[in-house]
Chain A
Amino acid sequence: MEHKRVRQGFVYGLAGLFTATFVALNLAGIITLLVFFFSPFAFAGGGIAQNEQANAKCLSCHSQPGFNVVKGSATIDLYVDKTQYQASIHGTRACTSCHSDLGGVPHTNPVYGQELAQQVNQQCVACHTDEGKAYLSSIHGEQLIAGKEGAACSDCHGKHNIQKSSDPAATTYRLTISNICMNCHQGKVAQSYNYSFHGTAIKLGYTKSATCADCHGTHAILPPENPNSSVSKQNEPQTCAQCHLQAQPNFAQGNEHAVPQDQQNDFPLWIVWKIFLGLIVFDILKDGSIAVFELIRRLINTRRNTPKS
């Protein structure tokens, strides 16, 4: 009897030890993971609280609506929407993590506009290395480096309002990203996209429809003349096949950016459009005049048949 109880106690003790070890190991694992997960945030900007403190100094001037500077003939708006910034994906970071050149107050030799965008771009690609690499090899990045009016990160992603592209508030959200492209790419290319079924469906809130970025790419955009481009004639069928199950060579036989109004370049569409407009006008003239004259005849006939009293 005594012997049995000792043995039972031993078994229970062993089980307890195992359980305790298991729980302890798991806890340690979770804590380690948490530390690793948050450490980049904790170390990168010197702590969220510290950043907020530092930013408060910047925002004491820059969060005042109408805050600006006059450079020659241009008035440059320096206002930053504090709530919007703090709600943005970078909202807990220090202002100086992007505006690295602006140490003291007043700022020494601050840059504006395209020059500023170029400078901030360097900070973007420092953290977002993969995107940065793709961007720098793209036509946008190439042109920006060459000092031309190439699109900087901020032209698409916004400045103090950056959100993840999955967030409907993001400038790069599916339903609005094409509007960003059309800020620069205007004329027929924009007109035809808005006219296309892709653009129409996007306008009406269909998130599965193709945006500019779905065909042209995002960071690694190349012009169609470049054989590596997703929209080069060679790659076009494959690009269409991202959504349209089969990669048909015929997909490349025509202009994506076509409008029926362009008689010169899109004659097949133009002629179909005109033929059907002709049919529409014929329709209105035929049915409209028959109805109108029938009514006139009936009015005349009733007058004739009504006895005068």
Chain B
Amino acid sequence: MAQQTTTKTAPMPNFIERFDKHQRYQHILLIVSIFFLCLTGFPIKYADAAWARAIVAMFQGFDHMFTVHLVSAVCMILSGIYHIVWIVLHFKNHGPKWAMLPSFKDFKDAWHHGLYLIGVRKARPQYDRYTYLEKFEYFAVIYGILLMGLSGFVLWFPDVAAWIMPRWVIDMFRIAHSNEALVCLFALIIGHFFWVHFNPDAFPTSSVWYNGKISKQHLQEEHPLEYARLAELYGETGDNGDNLHAEQVKPPKGRLFMLVELLIYVAFVIVLLATFIPALLA
């Protein structure tokens, strides 16, 4: 949101910086660490599976695989520390920004979005800089890093943890660590990946994570309130679609693509529910 200081005379650029360099670095550090954490962690959860042994073999043994897990875990925590340091410095230099904080509007948006999805309401909610889902995801990541980090350290140094907690609490942390990993994984591949990769408007990937920029068109579609504010700042009318440079934007995918994706998603969700609901009720 640094671009808001631009003078009124300059025209609104076609691509607007959504995340600065440091935010992108934090995110890439998180991507890499979580990729390796999943790759080296799930073979431990599903040790009896053939693919688990294949991954262990790929790492030339459990020692190496586990070392990669620990190093990745430290990287994940570093990304969190980086984020905190970045917030502090950013607030100091540019003033505090609270766009990520939940508000009453988010609950209204969630309700509205639900009604839109089942066809009761015709229009999407008017989102500001962050949608209610993005805010939920942000705080889910914070919760995830805290829980996985804390439980991970307890499992890494059980003899230190035993200074303050009995054995059975350490065991509880292990169950939490092992199952929260699945919560993270599903939130990523079903939730997050849908919005930034498989969403027909974004496929194969949104560009925000690598160059930080969002097209004017997408900004207006996905964050109309933020767009309106920016447009006003640039002296453009908030709802003027003619100003958009549609040729700069990837065209959304066709109906066949959406249909195939829909079938894959439905099948995936059914398989997952058929796996986990019986376990929950057992």
Interface string of A286-305 (1 = CB under 8 A from B): 11111111111111101100
Chain A residues closer than 8 Å to B268, beta-carbon distance: 288
The answer to whether the Cβ of A60 comes within 8 Å of any Cβ in the partner chain is no
Q: Is A246 within 8 A of B159, CB to CB?
A: yes
Check A245/B159 contact, CB under 8 A, given A283-B190, A287-B187, A288-B265.
Answer: yes
Contacting residues of chain B (240-278) with chain A, CB-CB under 8 angstroms: 255, 258-259, 261-262, 265-266, 268-269, 272-273, 276-277
* Interface pair A255/B168, CB less than 8 Å apart: yes
Other 11 A-B pairs with CB < 8 A, given A273-B179, A295-B265: A197-B44, A204-B53, A248-B162, A250-B166, A253-B166, A269-B171, A272-B175, A284-B272, A287-B187, A296-B262, A297-B116
Q: Is A139 an interface residue (CB 8 A)?
A: no
Contacts of B133 in A (CB 8 A): 290
Closest to B167 in A: A254
Closest to B179 in A: A276
Q: Is A181 an interface residue (CB 8 A)?
A: no
Q: Measured between C-beta atoms, what is the minimum distance from B211 to chain A in Å?
A: 25
Q: How far is the CA of A280 from the CA of B251 in the complex (A)?
A: 34
21 A-B residue pairs with CB within 8 Å: A205-B62, A240-B159, A246-B160, A250-B163, A255-B167, A255-B168, A269-B168, A276-B179, A280-B183, A280-B276, A280-B280, A281-B273, A281-B276, A283-B191, A284-B273, A287-B194, A288-B265, A290-B133, A292-B262, A292-B269, A302-B255
Q: Which residue of A lies closest to B164 (CB)?
A: A250
Q: In the bound complex, what is the Cα–Cα distance between A269 and B170 (angstroms)?
A: 10
Are B190 and A284 interface neighbours, CB within 8 A? Answer: yes
Residues from chain B with Cβ under 8 Å of A260 in the complex: 175
Size category of the A interface is: 35 or more
Which residue from A204, A250, A285 sits with its C-beta under 8 Å from B165? A250
B170-A254 in contact (CB<8A): yes
The CA-CA distance from A255 to B174 in the complex, in Å, is 14
Q: State whether B172 touches A268 (Cβ < 8 A).
A: yes
List chain B positions with a Cβ less than 8 A from chain A: 43-44, 47-48, 52-53, 56, 61-63, 65-66, 113, 116-119, 133, 155, 158-160, 162-163, 165-172, 174-176, 179-180, 182-183, 186-187, 190-191, 194, 198-200, 255, 258-259, 261-262, 265-266, 268-269, 272-273, 276-277, 279-280, 282
Residue A189 is within 8 A (CB to CB) of chain B in the complex = no
**A contact residues around B62 at 8 Å (CB):** 201, 204-206
The reply to whether B198 and A291 form a contact with Cβ atoms under 8 Å apart is yes
Given A205-B61, A273-B179, A277-B276: A290 touches B194 (CB 8 Å cut-off): yes
Interface 1/0 per residue, A236-259 and B, CB below 8 Å: 000011001110101111111010
C-alpha gap A38/B47 in the complex (Å) = 46
Bound state CA distance, A284 and B272, in angstroms? Answer: 7
User: Which residues of the other chain, B, contact A266 by a CB distance below 8 angstroms?
Assistant: 168, 171
| Set of chain B residues within 8 Å of A300, measured between Cβ atoms | 119
Give the interface centre of A245, A250, A296 by most chain B CB atoms within 10 Å.
Answer: A250
Min distance, Cβ B153 to any Cβ of chain A, angstroms: 14
A8 sits at the interface (CB 8 A): no
Interface contact B162-A276, CB-CB below 8 Å: no
Using CB atoms, name the residue of chain A closest to B140: A283
Query: Any chain B CB within 8 A of the CB of A68?
Result: no
Are B118 and A293 touching (Cβ within 8 A)?
A: yes
- Nearest Cβ on chain A to B197's Cβ, whole angstroms: 11
Q: Given known contacts A204-B62, A254-B171, is B280 in contact with A291 (CB within 8 Å)?
A: no
Residues of A within 8 A of B183 (CB): 276, 279-280, 283
